[in-house]
């Protein structure tokens, strides 16, 4: 007959065998669950990588668009500045022609027999006023030219900021 001790040993062996089998089955189940989690993690990583690549591509396109917009604005500002400089030169040339015509008219020999004087008397108030007005006109031209340049630079800056925030190049 089977003794109590043998029964206990058999019971302990059965418990150990059941524990081993449960451990093994649980390992298989956990292995499958781990494999599923790893597969889901790989899919998540792929989705995030695709999203990051897409975002980088969009940002590169946006950077190129902004760079092109700024280059366009810079070119337009250069053209506007060149036009302002040309207007300044043209206005200066007109002032110079007017001053030469005025000089020639004042110092032209008279048709009468009186001797021509080389210039106006030193105390001539009208002559001094003419010189003063000429200098004021010259300074006004300088200030107007500087104001034109500042206006062009300011408008270019505003258009650049607008193009960066609005997403497109504003029209002048």
Terminal Cα distance for the chain, rounded: 110
> What's phi and psi for 171, nearest 5 deg?
-90, 145
93-136 pLDDT per residue, tens: 787 677 767 766 776 644 444 555 555 555 566 667 777 777 88
- More reliable by pLDDT, 151 or 97: 151
pTM: 0.47
Q: State mean pLDDT over 18-42.
A: 91
**Stretch (H or E) spanning 110:** none
Count Cα neighbours of 160 within 13 Å in the Cβ-side half-sphere: 16
Contact 33, 116 (CB under 8 A): no
Non-local CB neighbours of 118 within 8 Å, separated by 6+ positions: 107
Higher-pLDDT residue of 102 and 36 is 36
Mean pLDDT within 139-167? 82
């Amino acid at each position: 007959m089977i003794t109590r001790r043998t029964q206990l040993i058999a019971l302990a062996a059965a418990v150990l065998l059941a524990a081993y089998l449960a451990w093994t089955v649980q390992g298989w189940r956990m292995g499958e669950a781990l494999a599923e989690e790893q597969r889901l993690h790989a899919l998540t990583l792929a989705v995030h990588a695709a999203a990051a690549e897409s975002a980088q591509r969009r940002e590169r396109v946006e950077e190129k668009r902004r760079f092109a917009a700024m280059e366009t604005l810079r070119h337009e500002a250069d053209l506007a500045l060149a036009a302002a400089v040309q207007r300044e030169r043209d206005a200066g040339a007109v002032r110079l022609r007017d001053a030469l015509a005025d000089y020639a008219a004042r110092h032209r020999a008279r048709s009468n027999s009186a001797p021509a004087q080389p210039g106006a008397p030193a105390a001539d108030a009208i002559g001094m006023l003419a010189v003063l007005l000429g200098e004021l006109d010259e300074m006004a031209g300088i200030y107007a030219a500087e104001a034109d340049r500042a206006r062009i630079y300011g408008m270019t800056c505003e258009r650049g900021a607008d193009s960066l925030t609005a997403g497109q190049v504003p029209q002048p």
